[in-house]
Amino acid sequence: MRLEGSQETLLITLYAKAMDNRATPSILRDGLADDLIRRVDCDFARFRLRPVDIRGIALRARVIDDWTRAALQARADTLVLHLACGLDSRVFRVEPGVEVDWIDLDFPAVIGLRQELLPQRAGRYRTLPTNVMEPDWIARLDHDRPVLVIAEGLFPYLDEYRARELIRRLIEAFPQGGQLLCDVYSPLALRLLRKAPMIRATQARIGDWDQTDLSRWHPRLQFVDEPQVSQLPEVAALPPAQRWPFALYDRWVWLRRLGRVVRYRF
């Protein structure tokens, strides 16, 4: 099955999580990702991932996993929308109860690959094969509950208009409110990302808009927090040679503003 454009980037994050799983200590401990890369026909070496790339991708996923668990512990009736899920095994890492409604959404080709490669999941889990920008899929959801929107690795590949429209439609569809967990980037970071070997090895197109403050787009959207990454126990456990980039990240504001993992509520 052929992946095109931004769909190819799911292989980057899958490979990073697998490499993190083989490292000591592992941040994410994603053994399923490690299993998947052995079964996917891909030359992963072409992405030329550095240790800081591998650890950064794993750390981003770990933070979002922890936020997801916290949201479900607070409200088990929350609907989870995992947008642009790729081959991410988040639902298996988080292990929500069988009563939790969890939807993994991505392009039909990607969902087909998920169904072929990933284990079956019991309970109220399902996949939704659609383009996230299609206008009708949100209308088919149950809106009488809070929602948790996970948009990891999505906004860099959308233009500003599409990202704004997606956020607006989601917020206005759920009157009970919810949370948005995502990664956001400055224009400089997006320019650097566009030149990164791992992106140039794909056909992905990167946007060029300022993502640093999504709350300006809707009156209900409010920034909650972001992690101080150097203080996370997963970072403290890393070897010194792998810790220092995260210490610099927290120390220099301009560097921290390049790319962040953030939590919003609405």
Q: Is the bond into 25 cis (omega within 30 degrees of 0)?
A: yes
pLDDT range class, residue 145, cuts 50, 70, 90 = very high
pLDDT of 15 above 80: yes
Give residues with Cβ within 8 angstroms of 147, minimum separation 6. Answer: 78, 79, 80, 81, 170, 174, 176, 177, 178, 179
pLDDT tens, residue by residue, 29-39: 999 999 999 99
Q: What is the pLDDT of residue 1?
A: 57
Q: Please give the tally of structural domains in the chain.
A: 1
Please, what's the b/e burial string for 89-98 (b: 16 or more CB within 10 A of its CB; e: otherwise)?
Answer: bbbbbbebee
Least confident of 14-23, 38-47, 137-146, 247-256: 247-256
Residue 89 tokens, joined: 């095994």
How far is it, in rounded angstroms, from Cα 181 to Cα 82? 10
In this predicted model, what pLDDT tens digit does every residue of 52-111 receive, in sequence order? 999 999 999 999 999 999 999 999 999 999 999 999 999 999 999 999 999 999 999 999
When pLDDT is averaged across residues 158-183 and rounded to a whole number, the result is 98
> Tens digit of pLDDT for each residue in 201-241?
998 999 999 999 999 999 999 999 999 988 999 999 999 98
At 9, is the secondary structure helix, strand, or coil?
helix
**Residue 78 belongs to a domain with what CATH number?**
3.40.50.150
> Mean pLDDT, the chain, as a whole number?
95
The model's pTM is: 0.95
Residue 231: which domain range?
5-265
